[in-house]
Amino acid sequence: MPEMTEAERRWESWYQAFLRVFEAFPQPVEVPCPEGDGGHIRLTFYGYPDSRTGSVTAWCDRCHHGIWLGRAGIPPGAEVHPFESRPAGMPEIELIPDAWPS
């Protein structure tokens, strides 16, 4: 198996940070930003009312980078925002490029 590229390693570090926050939900957990900027990972869920499946953005509260997962389970109790919206107070997130082939 070929070694991962730098872009793949970066995306994977973001995905692992997302998993740590997601798996701890609803308990708050302070997962450091993979960019090493001193920020922490936050999750914002999007979906339809009463649906337990939607999408999620995992983002850093300091550098405002993040990843978007187009299909994700929405944990019970999570605040869910309409698709194509940006919740009040959420900064514009710069998504890192998806490093994996389509």
pLDDT in tens, 25-79: 999 999 999 999 999 999 999 998 788 899 999 999 999 999 999 999 999 889 9
Residue among 25, 28, 29, 5 at smallest CA distance from 100: 5
* Contact between 39 and 31 (Cβ < 8 Å): no
Task: Report how far residue 5's alpha carbon sits from residue 46's, in angstroms, rounded to the nearest whole number.
Answer: 30
Question: Residue 78 has what pLDDT?
Answer: 92
Q: What pTM, to 2 d.p., does this model score? A: 0.90
Which of 3, 12, 5, 7 shows the shortest CA–CA distance to 97? 7
**Partner residues linked to 2 by β-bridges:** none
Dihedral (CA of 87, 100, 9, 25) sign: positive
pLDDT band of residue 100 (cuts 50, 70, 90) is: low
